[in-house]
Structure 1
Amino acid sequence: MNVNNKYSKIQRISGLWCLVALFTILLTACSADETQTVATFTNLVMEDNFDVEGRPDASIWGYDIGTGVNGWGNQELQYYTSRPENVTVENGVLLITAQQEAFENSQYTSARLLTKDLFEQQYGRFEARIRLPYGQGIWPAFWMLGADIDENPWPGAGEIDIMEYRGQNPTVLIGSVHGPGYSGGQAISKEYVLENDRFDTGFHVFGIEWGPEYINYYVDDVLYNQITPEDVTGTWVFNKPFYILMNLAVGGTFVGSPNAETQFPQSMIVDYVRVYEQ
């Protein structure tokens, strides 16, 4: 892929998207159902356009390193690093790259970035423009955790999955919430199916708009789901600050292991991350 040519196109499309998105938000916030709660979030409070080469902005992003406990709780196969081989900014995009390599007793490496202790917010619009990887056992995610997780372990702290995706199903993504009584396989989720295209062939904007009693899920300008306290099967834990995570996992219970057809390296390519408040 010619990243230089690709990013020149990104710049043109991104500018047009900003105008379209602002106009759409001011109208109805893309409501797919007149009974759904929507709001306008127009005050930009955090933005990373990945326009400085090298390491991601250390004032926004930190890293999880290693394999966690039981493969980060999911039997994942990768070792997360902060090496440039796994995470770097090039030509105006963030590259989170999974490699097949022997490293620290693991057979794969990748990266997981997070804003913990650097940026957190209660409510607002959280969005990222991403081109996803593909293949059996490839598991990218853009998600959030309750900022009180150190004192209130998962799932008590709450989790909002803005986007997660099985690389072997490149037309389908999933938006979910996890909390006490509805975590793991019992998460409250909904799929979004991309018609006549795949998420690995181009960039898409994945976002939520989050208020006191609802979380709206968007792909591009489509509102495809709303989750409210009435939808969860336990305590609603989404009235407090959350922080952001982006990662590219390999293997695990959600996607299964890579197979002979899985190609490496695979990269999750992020054009921007933006957060708005009302």
Structure 2
Amino acid sequence: MNTGRRTALRWTGLGVVAAAGATLPLLGRRPAESLRPAPTEDGSLLLGRDRWTVQTGAGGWGNHELQTYTESAVRFTDDGGIRITAHVRGSGPEAVCTSGRITTAGRFSFTEGTLTARMTLPEGQGLLPAFWLLGDGLASAGWPACGEIDVVETPNTSDRSVHTLHGKKAHKQLAWHLGNTVEWATPLSRGHHEYTVKRRPGRVVILVDGRVVLDRTRSELGPKRWVFDEPFHVLLSLAVGGDWPGPPDASTPATSVLAVDRVRFTPGVEL
């Protein structure tokens, strides 16, 4: 995702850590109902509504985005599902848009393991659905030094997906990124797919339906630029407009849904 978008207004082992006392400046919060672990029989953890905070607000989010993030745009289901709905009225830079964004900051983070979201991505001009991670050091180190892992982003169309790591600047660079763009014969919006990130010390691997789309190691960057062994939290968002996807137009659906069947974490990782 566009790096600037992540820095405005808030911004977001085998260890799983609850990053207590997180200081991200969230503009809106939904109180936690429970922070008790809910492991499944196979030892994995389903990230239910108690792990998420709904973020709200407007202001462009650093990328001149058009949407206002609202509480009502996010709906959680009892079986672990999540629906993030974007409403778009009008077209161009003056379009009026609402949507949703959620984060596990302060409620769930991990340093090593496998995280998978099974979901259906919407598509349309100006839409940017994303499943991504931010380093818990955001408040102290800032972006991009905290690190960012974009598990999947599909700006405008779902027949192309983008998968990227962002890290701290070197010399006079604002930031660096290592990424990959994948073309799909069948658009990802046609049904549910599994988007996975596997993390272990010195390596990050991203997969779509079990297919590796990005594989990066510490040796490619050197230890001073590799920030991906620290705790990271999880975000899901559906942005509208902005510098990357551009504004909606007459073809953009009035209502679009990022439909998440589940988000599941499994300690440990096989690579």
Q: TM-score, normalised by structure 1?
A: 0.73
Equivalent residue letter for 1:274: R
**Contact (CA 8 Å) 1:43, 1:277: kept in 2 or not?**
no
Equivalent residue letter for 1:216: V
Structure 1 range deviating more: 203-212 or 186-195: 186-195
CA 1:184–1:108 in structure 2 vs 1: closer, same or farther (change >3 Å)? farther
- For residues 66 and 197 of structure 2, what CA distance do their matches in structure 1 show? 29
Counterpart residue number, 1:236: 226
RMSD of Structure 2 on Structure 1 (CA): 2.4
Identity, % of aligned positions:
31
Equivalent residue letter for 1:165: T
Equivalent residue letter for 1:64: Q
Residues 179-218 of structure 1, C-alpha deviations (whole Å, 9 max, x = no match): 11288884211012223x1111101000111111111110
- For residues 44 and 100 of structure 1, what CA distance do their matches in structure 2 show? 40
- For residues 208 and 89 of structure 2, what CA distance do their matches in structure 1 show? 33
Structure 1 residue 90: Cα displacement: 5.2
Gaps of 5+ in 2: 1-40
1:96 and 2:95 correspond: no
Equivalent residue letter for 2:75: T
- For residues 106 and 243 of structure 1, what CA distance do their matches in structure 2 show? 31
1:274 and 2:264 correspond: yes
Structure 1 residue 72: Cα displacement: 1.4
Aligned residue runs from structure 1 range 1-278, under 5 A:
44-48=43-47, 57=49, 59-68=50-59, 71-83=60-72, 86-89=73-76, 93-101=81-89, 107-167=96-156, 169-181=157-169, 186-195=176-185, 197-232=186-221, 235-278=225-268
**Contact (CA 8 Å) 2:129, 2:237: kept in 1 or not?**
yes
Equivalent residue letter for 2:76: V
Structure 1 residue 106: Cα displacement: 7.6
**Contact (CA 8 Å) 1:132, 1:269: kept in 2 or not?**
yes
**Contact (CA 8 Å) 1:97, 1:267: kept in 2 or not?**
yes
Structure 1 residue 254: Cα displacement: 1.5
Structure 1 residue 150: Cα displacement: 1.0
User: Secondary structure at 1:72's aligned position in 2?
Assistant: coil
- For residues 188 and 241 of structure 1, what CA distance do their matches in structure 2 show? 19
Gaps of 5+ in 1: 1-41, 51-56
Q: Aligned pair count?
A: 221
CA 1:263–1:158 in structure 2 vs 1: closer, same or farther (change >3 Å)? same
CA 1:82–1:173 in structure 2 vs 1: closer, same or farther (change >3 Å)? same
Structure 1 residue 224: Cα displacement: 2.3
Equivalent residue letter for 1:154: W
- For residues 232 and 72 of structure 1, what CA distance do their matches in structure 2 show? 29
User: Secondary structure at 1:100's aligned position in 2?
Assistant: strand
